[in-house]
Amino acid sequence: MSAPPRRKQVVNLTGLLVLLALPPAAFALGEPFLISVATRIVIAALAALSLDLILGFGGMVSFGHAAFLGIGAYVVGILAHHDVESTLIPFLPGAWHGSAAALVQWPLAVLAAALFALLTGALCLRTSGVYFIMVTLAFAQMLYHFFVSLPAYGGHDGINLWQRSMVPGVDLSKDWVFYYVCLFILLAALAVFSRIVNSRFGMVLQGCKQNEARLAALGIATGRYKLAAYTLAGAIAGLAGALTANQTEFVGPSLMHWSRSGEILVMLILGGIGTLYGAVAGAATFLALEEILTSLTEHWMLFLGPILVFVVLFARRGIYGWLVGPESGDD
């Protein structure tokens, strides 16, 4: 209700300016590869943001988020693959040769991920607590194994894409253009999510995290709200997956390896859960840390692991919480 504190506005605005100014700055510095790092950050932030909706606000600790990214990516990959080879997509009622158009690929990616989230979520949400963590992890692993043993789409090796998705009048093959498209999507998602978490739906979702039994005792059927949030999170993660496929021009089971789910979780915790913007700060920190540590040593995980343990044990508010200071409001 009250206006967000000044410091928070300053932090958010600075972040926005940095993100907007990045491509020209990268060109000016003669380091255009920075754009692709920044694109990875923006896409990872979108994935972490979708996780924040269910984890940070709904209290659902999902350890299978990479599954949704994988589905989104595979939808793009499979449609592009059949489009290039001009072959029919099997097991479809009609005859369809796929498509290279983003306006076809991306909505279908979102839809497929949402559907998977709806189906597995209905099962996962029959459980809670530690069971929920294990079940989400297991369903993601199921999908991983499914694609590994699917020879039609490259099995372990996945599919290499010929080109990025086609958008009329926009040349996504230019890295800076693709970056701005990703950034636009991230900002739109941030805007929509910050409305959602404070809406009536959002209040119920936050109530689920704080005291689900009380919500039920007040007369609210919590299950369907959690499932709706889970599905929405899956859909957005699916979109992040579609963008990932475009960024790397490759789709493979490694995208939904369990450690990917772990990384998204780590980004979110690093940035600060339940803040939305923390997802962006976390993705940036994690990937920057990865870039820096890999340039120092091949065995960077040797350092990242203990850093993570340390953050969990001693620094739970995350980077964003630390940036905006103690009186950060709660949205």
Partner 1 sequence: MTEPILEVSGLTKFFGAVAASDVLTFAVERGSIHGLIGPNGAGKSTTIAQLSGELRPDAGRIRFAGTDISAWPVHRRAHAGLQRSYQITSLFPDFTAAENVALAVQARQGHSFRFLAPAREIPSLREPALAVLGRLGLAAKADVPASRLGHGEQRQLELAMVLATRPKMLLLDEPTAGMSRTESRRMMGILRPLKGKVTILLVEHDMDVVFALADAITVLVKGKAIITGPPADVRANENVRRAYLGNY
Partner 2 sequence: MTAQLFLEQTLNGLQQGVTLFLLAAGLTLVFGVMHLINLAHGTLYMVGAYVAATVTQISGNFLWGVIAAVAAAGLTGAAIEIIALRRLYDRGHLDQVLATFGVIMFFNELVKVLWGPQALFLSPPAILSGTVEVIPGVPYPAYRLLIIGVGLAVALAVRQLITGTRTGMLIRAGATDREMVGALGVAVNRLFTRVFAIGAMLAGLAGAMAGPLLAIEVGMGEHILILTFVVVIIGGIGSVRGALVGALLVGLVDTYGRAFLPVVLRGVLSPTAADGIGASLSSIAIYVLMAAVLIWRPRGLFQAYG
Enumerate binding residues for partner 2 (CB under 8 A).
55, 61, 63, 123-124, 126-127, 129-131, 133-135, 137-139, 141-142, 145-146, 148-152, 258-259, 262, 265-266, 269, 299-302, 304-309, 312-313, 316
Q: Residue type for 35, please?
A: I
Residue 192 CB contacts under 8 Å (≥ 6 apart), including other chains = none
Q: Measured from the CB atom, is 97 or 145 closer to partner 2?
A: 145
Q: Measured from the CB atom, is 150 or 221 closer to partner 1?
A: 221
**In sequence order, what are the beta bridge partners of 101?**
166
Q: Report d(CA 261, CA 82) in Å as an integer.
A: 28
The number of angstroms, rounded, from the C-alpha of 156 to the middle of its chain's C-alpha atoms is 22
Q: Which option in partner 2, partner 1, none does residue 151 bind, with CB closer than 5 to 8 A by kind?
A: partner 2
Q: What does the block give as tokens for 209?
A: 């995290």
- Which of 169, 213, 298, 327 binds partner 1 (CB under 8 A)? It is 213
Q: Supply the Cα-derived Rg of the chain in whole angstroms.
A: 20
Q: Which option in partner 2, partner 1, none does residue 262 bind, with CB closer than 5 to 8 A by kind?
A: partner 2
Q: What does the block give as tokens for 271?
A: 């940035």
Q: Measured from the CB atom, is 103 or 302 closer to partner 2?
A: 302
Distance of closest approach, residue 13 Cβ to partner 1, in angstroms? 21
Distance of closest approach, residue 292 Cβ to partner 1, in angstroms? 35
Q: Measured from the CB atom, is 160 or 198 closer to partner 1?
A: 198
Per CB under 8 A, does 221 bind partner 1? yes
Per CB under 8 A, does 330 bind partner 1? yes
Q: Measured from the CB atom, is 25 or 216 closer to partner 1?
A: 216
Per CB under 8 A, does 196 bind partner 1? yes
- 10 Å CB burial of residue 171 (0-12, 13-18, 19+) is exposed
C-beta of residue 265 within 8 angstroms of C-beta of residue 63:
yes
How many residues comprise the chain? 331
Q: Measured from the CB atom, is 298 or 330 closer to partner 1?
A: 330
Q: What does the block give as tokens for 231?
A: 């599905």
75 closest CA partner among 247, 246, 262: 246
Contact segment (CB under 8 A) with partner 1 among 45-53, 72-80, 162-170, 219-227 equals: 219-227
- Which of 41, 53, 113, 204 binds partner 1 (CB under 8 A)? It is 204
DSSP state of 271: H
Per CB under 8 A, does 202 bind partner 1? yes
Pairing of strands 159-160, 250-251: antiparallel
Q: Measured from the CB atom, is 45 or 265 closer to partner 2?
A: 265
271 closest CA partner among 73, 11, 20, 9: 11
Other C-beta atoms lying within 10 Å of the C-beta of residue 167: 15
Site residues, partner 1 (CB under 8 A): 1, 195-196, 198-204, 206-207, 210-211, 213-222, 225, 228, 330
